[in-house]
Amino acid sequence: MKKVVNYKAQKEDWEKAKDQAFKKISPKYKVDGFRKGKAPRNIFERNFPGQIVMEAADILIDQEYKRILTEGKILPILEPKIDVVKVNDDELEVNFSFILEPSVTLGEYKNLGVKKETVKVSKEEVQQKIDELLKSYTELVIKEEGAAENGDVAVIDFEGFKDGVAFEGGKGENYSLEIGSHSFIPGFEEGIIGMKKGEEKDLTLTFPEEYQEKSLAGKEVIFKVKVNEIKTKEVPELDKDFFEDLGMEDVKTKEDLEKKMKEEIKAQKEEAAEKKYVDALLEKAVSNMAIELDEEIIEAEAEAMYNDFMSHMSAQGITEELYLKYAGTTKEDIVNHMKKEAEVILKNSYLLNAIIKEEQIEADEKEALDQIKDLAQKYNMTEEDVKSSLGGDDAVKYDIKVRKAIDLMK
């Protein structure tokens, strides 16, 4: 929702502002023949035409903006767009274009007919979880005898030759290669299967036609390979020693582990199902709601999302310039891509705020304190740190009101 406020400076105010402007900026400029800040106004204006007028305009625009906000009749949610209609030595006229809170008309938001999916955990999922756990405890042990097999790690020296000449990037020493990882060109890893420690071999291979290095794409080469060592994966058994290493108090047997894994999978699925359920409720209620959402609000939200993302990248030591370079994109492209998500976030927010207002939902001090205590215990933090990270008491209370609104929708 937009509102334009026109402002025309009174002649007396305009003259006063120009006097203020001259006193403010004249000490910053040096006029030939005068000490800094000591040149008469008429001479200053001849040397720096327009400077006093522009500074005076800034002074009155700032004063008028503050007056509009103090009056309280207009509550903008973004900085206004300021269009200067006229500005010269005799007059100043400006239009303030304000973006206001959008108009929201609630539709049906209670009996939405949305169902939460029932969560089930299969035996196969439990076994997959256990297999992943065992994989994380798998150790590589040296294979003293026998040949390299699929799944083994071969420590190799290699060098590639095209037309009898070694090519750049085709050499490695004591390189650990997991056979079956498909990290080398087709045929390389397969060629190592069956080789033993100390064995040397020439592999005649052809680079794929679509290989990124054009000088090698589709070309036949020879790799000279020597196996220095072979390591095999040793997967632990589900026995007493493993359960002790696992360090889970309530897991002593295979059955205990299966129960634990099932509970973890179910909790993850429940969380995902709950999010999907709430998202569906919000989507349905938003579709029933009428809202006038200006493009400027969406753009501002997308811009804020971009800044948050780049702050996260910066915390990992990745600059904005570096990210954009390696992602092969621009800030404008990313912000435009974020607009759709920004619009969903905004509409959900305005929906929930409207429900809170309509239903007169409140949150008291005790509820806020209880939530802070729960979070402090859950994340092993002090209550003050929790409160600070959430943005203070008002933010905690707002979060409670939002959850109450969602519970009401359910």
Query: At residue 84, does pLDDT exceed 90?
Result: yes
pTM to 2 decimal places: 0.71
Residues 407, 94: Cα–Cα separation, whole Å = 47
Bridge partners of 177? 154
Give me the pLDDT at residue 76, please: 86
**Confidence label for 33 from pLDDT (cuts 50, 70 and 90):** confident
The model's pLDDT over 120-152, given as tens digits with 9 standing for 90+, comes to 999 999 999 999 999 999 999 999 889 999 999
DSSP annotation of 32: T
**Confidence label for 322 from pLDDT (cuts 50, 70 and 90):** very high
Phi-psi region of 333 (alpha: psi -120 to 50; beta: other; left: phi over 0): alpha
Number of C-alpha atoms within 13 angstroms, CB side, residue 379? 13
Percent of the chain with pLDDT over 70: 100
Picking from 356, 350, 342, the residue whose alpha carbon sits closest to that of residue 406 is 356
Give me the pLDDT at residue 74, please: 85
Query: At residue 252, does pLDDT exceed 80?
Result: yes
User: Beta strand 2-8 with 81-87: parallel, antiparallel or unpaired?
Assistant: unpaired
Give me the pLDDT at residue 387, please: 87
Residues 205, 211: Cα–Cα separation, whole Å = 13
CA distances from 352 to 33, 283, 392 (A): 67, 12, 20
Residues 175, 154: Cα–Cα separation, whole Å = 8
Give me the pLDDT at residue 113, please: 94
SS3 176: strand
Amino acid present at 217: A
The model's pLDDT over 269-296, given as tens digits with 9 standing for 90+, comes to 999 999 999 999 999 999 999 998 999 9
Which tokens belong to 296?
């400027």
Query: At residue 89, does pLDDT exceed 80?
Result: yes
**CA 290, 292, 295, 298 torsion-angle sign:** negative
What is the residue whose two structure tokens read 């030939």? 32
Query: At residue 307, does pLDDT exceed 80?
Result: yes
Specify whether the CB–CB gap between 230 and 142 falls below 8 A. yes
Give me the pLDDT at residue 73, please: 83
Give me the pLDDT at residue 132, please: 93
Query: At residue 386, does pLDDT exceed 80?
Result: yes
Percent of the chain with pLDDT over 90: 81
∠ CA 154-143-191, rounded to 5°: 35
